[in-house]
Amino acid sequence: MTQDRDIHAYLAEFDDIPGTRVFTARRARQGYQLNQFAMSLMKAENREHWKADERAYLADWKLTDEQKQAVLDRDYTKLLDLGGNIYFLSKIFSTDGQSFLQAVSTMSGMSLEDYTAMMIAGGRSPEGVRSIKGKN
Amino acid sequence: MARITAGVASSHIPALGVASDLDKTAEAYWQPAFAGYEWTKAWEAEVKPDVVILVYNDHASAFDMKIIPTFAIGCAEEFQPADEGWGPRNVPVVKGHPDLAWHIAQSCILDEFDMTIINEMDVDHGLTVPLSMMFGKPAEWPCRVIPLAVNVVTYPPPSGNRCWALGEAIARAVASYDEDLNVQVWGTGGMSHQLQGTRAGLINKEWDNRFLDGMVGSSDALRRIPHIEYLRETGSEGIEMVMWLIMRGAMGRETRMLHRHYHVPASNTAVGHIVLEPVDGEVPPTETIEGNSQAAQDLIA
């Protein structure tokens, strides 16, 4: 009743939103191992192993080399492109002692100070970033 | 008979939980966000619900990518706060109401809402932050809680219309439960926020406030908002607001507003909060074969 009846048209619209990766089935499949790895950091003993030797910890997971490097680099924009989901990736930055504000600001192209100031001033306006095609 | 007496909607921003846990709520940054919950804390202490059906989403805590239930109902005796990567929150264990939870699960399934039944799970900030906002920092939570987890992470999440209709099915289930219980339904998450990419930090005050307006009264226009509108207008994580519509659906035909609060920002997110009570709590009758079968209903009574 409320959704587009054509699944292809429904999914195609998601690619028309600037700077946004909607966590679709395609991304969920691409990022399965990456997200499950991140999830493993919910256990305190796993966090200890991870902190002791990140590369050795990653060796036990079937991530692509590109995904592994992006994890080591804490490149969250890249990780989203490689199928990561922010709520799974949050286990990595939480283990680093970072807040959502700190981690999310790294994807915005702004410094933490500027990003925080933007949020206090009311956040980013939706004007001009709703649709690529519609330029609104 | 059990009865739904009120509905509460609220953001469940993890940073609010951290601010509460570290006693930072009086700090200049946090004070305006928390101030809007003072009315609700006093009201909850007065109306004393027996059970809260708490609609929230799990943020990769109880459910990983192995199993992704669209609607999952917690039927356990109790639920421990989850370790989300920095150790579990130091908040009371959440006591469930297995008998009512199982009744709702069975009634909803006969009503053709195919619920996933969860007998063991930890609950993350999505569930415990609203408890902190509404009840503060007690030694024990003052009521039983039935967790109702909705998938809003992996697409597609349920439609707003489906969520509204589930709320109506929950209202029918509660009304057919014999014990005299004062039940509230809480819908949590939102409001506008985007936690990714170059659009991170998106906030849409006008849209959020129109959504708050739409929760009040007899209009059901909100149930027809498509996913793409939430994504474009309220950021990639604003889709959580479909969970508010489960609460709204459970309130019945018409609501009255008791309290409303909106503040930007808390962390990356717009804080929205509203308290409703049913004016006309009538919901449409079930249209399913088993929902209308006395024999089937007798089995779950």
Structure token pair of residue B208: 């959020």
Q: Which of B12, B97, B103, B125 is catalytic?
A: B125
Q: Using one digit for the tens of pLDDT, what is the confidence trace for A63-121? A: 999 999 999 999 999 999 999 999 999 999 999 999 999 999 999 999 999 999 999 99
Query: H/E element holding B56?
Result: strand B51-56
Instruction: Give chain B's mean pLDDT.
Output: 97
Query: Torsion angle of alpha carbons A98, A102, A107, A108, nearest 10°?
Result: 180
Cross-chain Cβ contact A13/B195 below 8 Å: no
Cross-chain Cβ contact B231/A3 below 8 Å: no
Query: Per-residue pLDDT averaged across A29-56, rounded?
Result: 97
| pLDDT beyond 70 at A4 | no
- What local confidence, expressed as pLDDT, does residue B86 receive? 79
- What's the full length of chain A, in residues? 136
Q: In terms of residue numbers, what domain contains A38?
A: 7-120
Q: Report d(CA A127, CA A107) in Å as an integer.
A: 19
Q: Which of A112, A98, A122, A126 is nearest to B15 (CA)?
A: A98
Q: Strands, DSSP E only, in B57-198?
A: 71-74, 78-79, 94-95, 116-118, 144-150, 182-188
Which domains are seen in chain B, by residue range?
3-283 (3.40.830.10)
Q: Report d(CA B211, CA B192) in Å as an integer.
A: 11
Residue A89 in domain: yes
Q: Is residue B15 less than 8 Å (CB to CB) from chain A?
A: yes
Angular region, B177: left φ>0, alpha ψ -120 to 50, beta rest: beta
Cross-chain Cβ contact A19/B195 below 8 Å: no
Q: Output the domain CATH number for residue A17.
A: 1.10.700.10
- The pTM for the full model equals 0.97
What value of ipTM does the predicted structure carry?
0.94
Looking at residue B24, what DSSP letter applies? -
Cross-chain Cβ contact A43/B83 below 8 Å: yes
Out of A3-7, B40-44, B74-78, B181-185, least confident range: A3-7
Residue A129 in domain: no
The number of distinct structural domains making up chain A is 1
| pLDDT beyond 80 at B55 | yes
Closest chain B residue to A93, measured at CA? B85
Residue A128 in domain: no
Question: What confidence category does residue B256 fall into, taking pLDDT thresholds of 50, 70 and 90?
Answer: very high
Is B56:B147 a contact under the CB 8 Å cutoff?
yes
- What's the full length of chain B, in residues? 301
Closest-CA distance, B100 to chain A, in angstroms, reads: 31
Residue A73 in domain: yes
Instruction: Look up tokens 């959020």; give the residue.
Output: B208
Q: Report d(CA B261, CA B235) in Å as an integer.
A: 20
Task: Show residues of chain A in contact with B15, CB under 8 Å.
Answer: 99-101
Q: Report d(CA A83, CA A31) in Å as an integer.
A: 4
- What local confidence, expressed as pLDDT, does residue B10 receive? 98
User: How far, CA to CA in Å, does A72 sit from each of A55, A57, B82?
Assistant: 8, 11, 25
Residue A2 in domain: no
Residue A136 in domain: no
Is B94:B128 a contact under the CB 8 Å cutoff?
yes
- What local confidence, expressed as pLDDT, does residue B87 receive? 85
Residue B193 falls in the annotated catalytic set? yes
> What is the DSSP annotation of chain A?
--S-S-HHHHHHGGGGSTT-----HHHHHHTHHHHHHHHGGGSHHHHHHHHH-HHHHHHTS---HHHHHHHHHT-HHHHHHTT--HHHHHHHHHHTT--HHHHHHTTTTS-HHHHHHHHHTT-B--TT-S-TTTT-
Burial label, A59 (beta-carbon count in 10 A; 0-12, 13-18, 19+): exposed
| pLDDT beyond 90 at B236 | yes
Which amino acid does the sequence have at B139? Answer: A
